[in-house]
Chain A
Amino acid sequence: MAERSQQVLLAEGLARQGRIAPAVTACYQALRADERDPLVHCLLGGLMLEEGFCEQAATSAARAIEIDPGCAAAYFVLGLAYDRMGGMWDRSVLVWQELAEVVPDLATAYVQLGEALCAASFADEAVAAWRRALEIDPREPRAMYHLAVAALKREGMATALPGFRKAGELDPSQDEFFFVLTGYDVDGLPTLGMTEIEADRTSRLRAAHAFAANDELFKAAELIRLVLGEHADDIEAISLMAHLYLKQESVNEAMACALRALTLSTHTPTAVYALGVAFARRPALADHAAKLFSVLTTMAAGHAMPHVLHAESLLALQRYSNAGEAYRAALALDPGCVRALFGQAAVALTVGDHTGAEWAIRRAAYHDIRRRGYFWGPYDAAAGGREQ
């Protein structure tokens, strides 16, 4: 296959910069040079979808698939366009099934397939699709959210809550929030080898946070033990330890660490967070969790996550109206908070507002896809495959 032309590269560059209008113009120029370039049709579809012009997106994506039936990114665009246009679920189901055939190990294809099946009232098939997504990628939060919502519809909140909680844990935003509370910019921290870390508290703590953020929990725990060996009352270290225990499902140990940190200082948001999360995992302690998360909303004002955690603890207490308010507070701070949108859907379902729930889920899916850069992965794979 031919390499990408200058016009295509220009269009891609503009698209990656978010300059949609000139990128669309560049795509048209590229198509004038080669109308049968599936990548350009696919890119054009992606750009149209980005602006919410679903009909145009569907037309371009369908053309890309017609030219190259293996173009995964085009299936993505076409499926999402159909989903957004509404009332086209049978076509949408077909597209997602085809994508699952083209890229069998793509969990997102099954998540989307489940959504389309659910919208088409094939509830059992939808659940099977989400389960398949979790088989492919056990850390796929949206599939877990959907399973929780499905459980809520069928069996009620008591069955659904563990699912929401599990989905929340898979959702990267909660860990991100913990590290925001710690004050460490974990994205900017290098993960060093154990021998490269200097033997002082600051270096060890920084490295421990970096390891924790990268899910290297044992290395992080080892460094924390070294810090605590020298400073037994180090609040930062104890709080991080609580977080590490939580990550390993050791709730009692996490509780003990968090309580120890709070004994040393009640003004420790990370400890309040860790204790709240630990309490939330014990259904009988949901009331305590709600109180702690309520405090955390004040300690970490301006962040959506404490409101989400607070709302989830209120859900456990069956205080749905209050949970709805907490979710609204979270969404006011972060309108794209996927977890809050799924929570809002759950609250809507408790009052029989199925349309409201469906709308919240659609918005959650949109934001989830957007934050994970749905388009460029498959697109780059297709472009890379062409150049090899």
Chain B
Amino acid sequence: MNTDAEARTRAGRSESGAPGVARRNPRFPVGVNYYPLDSEVSTWEEWYAGDVDGDFAAFAAAGLTLVRIFISWKLFEPQVDRYSEQATDRLRTIVDAAAIHGLRLMVCFFADDRHADLLDVVWARKRDPRTDSYLIERETALVRHIVERHRADRAVFAWELANEVFCCGFESAQALESWAATLREAVRELDPDRPVMLSFDPETLFHAARVDGRGALRECEIAVSHPTMRYRTYAAEGPIASGSSTYLDSFLLHMGPSGKPVLFDDVGSHMLEDSHAEEAAALRCALYSGLMNGASGALVRRWRDMATDRREPYFVDPYEAVVGVCDSGGEPKAAMRELDAFTRMAAHLDLQTYELTAERMAVVVPAERRAALPALASLYTPRACLESYIRAKEAHVPVTMTHEDDEFDPFAVLIVPSVTDLSDTTWERLGAWVQVGGSLVFSYGGGEFGPAAREIFGVDFLGHGGARTRATCRIAQQNLLGALEPFEVAAEVPHFALLGAGTSTVIATDSAGSPLVTLNRYGQGRAICVAAPFERVLGQAGLRTPPAEVQTFLRILYGAVADVAGCGPLVDCDAPGVEVALFAGEEDDVLLLLNHMGEPVTASVGFVVSVASVTDIRGGAPVAVGGRSFSVPLGQYGVMALRLCYA
């Protein structure tokens, strides 16, 4: 996602302090949602009468580039087919103000904002704006009305058809696709070039509404990714800056559609219950995660806190956005400082020169994710996939997510975590992929082992061994798959596959000698089978403590398989909780480190070639290294961005 040259030039007006360095990164724009209300007790008309210039000046001063604004259908079309001149003029004022401040607008047409009643069109008589043909006709006309007036405005960056809350009201993927196609066509008739978007995350939308939005996103030029409050509670229970929570944003980013720029959306805390320090830590982790995982830009959840009733704490609806980077009086909070520091840092990373290392390891999201209840696999799967993703990250292997029906060819290692059922076609595709050199890590999640699976893994499936209350690992073959350690811990293991070794090599067993990990050479590739769904064990821990031994086991296993497959970490790091991203340049590289832990850590990083010196990316004197490794101190949830010069 690239903003135009004009915006870049204007952006250059804000300097970082380092002479000649723009404070905005044109290839990683940072922005904010500009919600129409700052106070629960005010009306949308009041906001509409206000002056946006001051806010836009503040956005520009903070180094922001993008602003999402929301159209009020209610205000634009108070009577059928009669558009309010006042609303039309107001939008013109906003667009002009954005242009003056070098901001680009994402114009969201249909947002179900509970406070502002944006869709509460009186004459609609409670008909559903998603499915009622007459209302869709009126929606199309409104879109045309606005696009026609602003298609020549360079300050408009993209047209956004609807937000996730609106899309959650659809009852089927087909209805969503049909609605999106109609509205998109209305935009395209008048503006053939500008990006058209739908600002829902397909994973969170599916979780909330059981609607598969991937089809509707196919026609969009830009996708978005964001964890909703509801999804965060489901997938990463606990404080916002701890455990799995800080990985959730990048996990969803990778879950999104591949091949499209993905905007890291709604970044920041959801609840006013979190302290300012926690909000800041969460924002820092999310922003850096986005940059380190290939997002195309980031949009902060809200500028100001919303002044709410004196209810303590404010009841947070999953869809309400009440937490900003400034308090309700406009005073900057700690999160604002984080945002400022991030935009300053990001401005120094030229994403045209430096390229993020491509991921050749992927976690496969099985199609059973989309199965209907009572199949619980659909609920277990995202948690297992998230755990798998985190363990790969802890092994410092560049990793992404892929879906069962996606192409496997771009990857050297595939992890299929805790799966109950894969289709025969998938097994055939996996078999063919392993035959030509792929490395497959599969963990058993219950169900049957088909003939194809037996052939790929070279094992005999002797049956389901039942649930266990302890997870045990005894090492049978040392160092064939990394330095796996034996362990025995209390853990609720829901399944265990009783395997006969067959033609495979048994790497580890359970306490009774039944194979736990097997390795099979299949064609030119390797197939590793884990007899227990350890990813699910970790994912289901919830309020229980996840067994650290199992976490370590998976981390070592994934790291070892990636190493053997030739797609291991480019940078060694001795701290599993520190995420590492290497942006490779022609003459030097940029290293980003993010500590996901709540404790300070000193991470030792190692390289295959000798590093001559390191420099803070924002400038300063180089520090001589003269070796292949050096240590970096990181505070709790701390970050570091270093430019590396090699000897």
In the complex, chain B residues whose CB is within 8 Å of the CB of A229: none
Chain A residues 15 to 35 lying within 8 A of chain B, measured CB to CB, are 18-21, 24-25, 27-28
Q: Given that A25-B374, A28-B374 are contacting pairs, would A86 and B275 also be in contact in the complex, using a CB cutoff of 8 Å?
A: no
Tell me, in angstroms, the Cα distance from A56 to B379 when the chains sit together: 10
Q: Would you call A90 and B311 a contact (CB within 8 A)?
A: yes
Q: How many residues of A contact B (CB 8 A)?
A: 36
Closest to B379 in A: A53
User: Closest approach, in angstroms, between the C-beta of B598 and any C-beta of chain A?
Assistant: 8
Most chain B beta-carbon neighbours within 10 Å: one of A18, A27, A55, A358: A55
Kindly count the residue-residue contacts between A and B in the assembled complex, taking CB atoms under 8 Å apart.
Answer: 83
**A335-364 CB contact bits vs B (8 Å, 1 = yes)?**
110000000000000000011101100110
In the complex, chain B residues whose CB is within 8 Å of the CB of A55: 230, 234
Tell me, in angstroms, the Cα distance from A27 to B376 when the chains sit together: 13
Q: Would you call A366 and B543 a contact (CB within 8 A)?
A: yes
In the complex, chain A residues whose CB is within 8 Å of the CB of B274: 355
User: Closest approach, in angstroms, between the C-beta of B318 and any C-beta of chain A?
Assistant: 8
Closest to B490 in A: A335
Q: Would you call B237 and A84 a contact (CB within 8 A)?
A: yes
Tell me, in angstroms, the Cα distance from A89 to B272 when the chains sit together: 13
A54 within 8 Å of B (CB atoms): yes
Closest to B272 in A: A87
Q: Would you call B446 and A53 a contact (CB within 8 A)?
A: no
In the complex, chain B residues whose CB is within 8 Å of the CB of A356: 239
A85 within 8 Å of B (CB atoms): yes
Q: Would you call A354 and B275 a contact (CB within 8 A)?
A: yes
B542 within 8 Å of A (CB atoms): yes
B271 within 8 Å of A (CB atoms): yes
In the complex, chain A residues whose CB is within 8 Å of the CB of B239: 355-356, 358-359
Closest to B277 in A: A355
Tell me, in angstroms, the Cα distance from A188 to B498 when the chains sit together: 35
In the complex, chain A residues whose CB is within 8 Å of the CB of B316: 87
Q: Would you call B271 and A27 a contact (CB within 8 A)?
A: no
B612 within 8 Å of A (CB atoms): no
In the complex, chain A residues whose CB is within 8 Å of the CB of B623: none
B503 within 8 Å of A (CB atoms): no
Chain B residues 365 to 381 lying within 8 A of chain A, measured CB to CB, are 373-374, 376, 379-380
A302 within 8 Å of B (CB atoms): no
User: Closest approach, in angstroms, between the C-beta of A84 and any C-beta of chain B?
Assistant: 7
User: Closest approach, in angstroms, between the C-beta of A28 and any C-beta of chain B?
Assistant: 4
User: Closest approach, in angstroms, between the C-beta of A357 and any C-beta of chain B?
Assistant: 11
Looking at chain B's contact residues, the main secondary structure is loop
User: Closest approach, in angstroms, between the C-beta of A264 and any C-beta of chain B?
Assistant: 37
B352 within 8 Å of A (CB atoms): no
**B261-278 CB contact bits vs A (8 Å, 1 = yes)?**
000000000110111001
Interface bin, chain B: 20 to 34
Q: Would you call A84 and B233 a contact (CB within 8 A)?
A: yes
Q: Would you call B376 and A121 a contact (CB within 8 A)?
A: no
A51 within 8 Å of B (CB atoms): yes
Chain A residues 209 to 242 lying within 8 A of chain B, measured CB to CB, are none
User: Closest approach, in angstroms, between the C-beta of A330 and any C-beta of chain B?
Assistant: 12
Q: Would you call A20 and B543 a contact (CB within 8 A)?
A: no
Tell me, in angstroms, the Cα distance from A53 to B235 when the chains sit together: 9
B229 within 8 Å of A (CB atoms): yes
Tell me, in angstroms, the Cα distance from A217 to B239 when the chains sit together: 45
**B312-327 CB contact bits vs A (8 Å, 1 = yes)?**
1101100000000000
Q: Would you call B311 and A51 a contact (CB within 8 A)?
A: no
Closest to A352 in B: B275
User: Closest approach, in angstroms, between the C-beta of A115 and any C-beta of chain B?
Assistant: 13
Q: Would you call B543 and A362 a contact (CB within 8 A)?
A: yes
In the complex, chain B residues whose CB is within 8 Å of the CB of A366: 542-544
Closest to A52 in B: B542
Q: Given that A18-B467, A28-B374, A355-B275 are contacting pairs, would A120 and B312 also be in contact in the complex, using a CB cutoff of 8 Å?
A: yes
Q: Would you call A21 and B376 a contact (CB within 8 A)?
A: yes
B357 within 8 Å of A (CB atoms): no
In the complex, chain B residues whose CB is within 8 Å of the CB of A51: 376, 379-380, 540
**B437-468 CB contact bits vs A (8 Å, 1 = yes)?**
00000000010000000000000000000010
B425 within 8 Å of A (CB atoms): no
| Closest 9 pairs (CB-CB, A-B) | A335-B545, A87-B316, A366-B543, A121-B312, A52-B542, A28-B374, A25-B374, A24-B374, A355-B239
16 contacts between A and B (CB under 8 A): A20-B376, A25-B374, A27-B374, A53-B379, A84-B233, A85-B230, A87-B229, A87-B313, A87-B315, A335-B544, A336-B544, A336-B545, A355-B275, A358-B239, A363-B543, A367-B544
The residues of A with any CB-CB pair to B shorter than 8 Å are 18-21, 24-25, 27-28, 51-56, 84-90, 120-122, 331, 335-336, 354-356, 358-359, 362-363, 366-367
